[in-house]
Amino acid sequence: MSAPLTLLFVRHGQSEWNAAGLMQGQTDGIPLTGLGHAQAARAAEELAALRPGALLSSDLRRAVQTAEHCARATGLPVTTTPALREQAYGALEGRPSRELWDVVDWTDPHWAAEGGESLAELHGRVAAYLAHLCAEPPAAVIGLVTHGDTIRAARAVVAGLGPDALPVVTPPNGSVTRLEVVP
């Protein structure tokens, strides 16, 4: 790759578990709410205006439903991949998020819930996927429909930061985050 690569990360619209305040992780089958579909449609219009040449998505339902809005707005087919999934929270998935403040060690990037994935593992997965995209980009501008923690990890990877320096702020549901990767 010799030219800059533009990555347009779309966070999925609000899901039923977002609305209920439940930890989702990689639990599949959770659909978008009505608000989530509206957020996805707005994000899709914003994405279309940025003219991506390829559209990739997490294979989890909430992302795929968002990607379907993006496909309609851009006219692009969607390619799904598990590489864009949310961080796995294992045994904590389905529990109320507010209960997890005393359970999760948010300061240790190597901590993982039973059956889950640490921030370091998430960072490594995202770094490997972005390296693959940079080596064989399907387009100069790529739309990627994914999840909040995955976008935080991508921001760290592109900035050259490790898993201990992920941005604290998670992008809102239905937002577009633009990252430029310079070879």
Please identify every residue annotated as catalytic: 12, 86
Of 100, 105, 159, 175, whose CA–CA distance to 167 is shortest? 159
Quote the tokens at residue 23. 């930890």
Compute the distance between CA of residue 178 and CA of residue 168 in angstroms, rounded to an integer: 17
Query: Which residues have a Cβ under 8 Å from the Cβ of 137 and sit 6 or more positions away?
Result: 1, 5, 54
- Pair 62, 13: CB distance under 8 Å: yes
- Pair 64, 30: CB distance under 8 Å: no
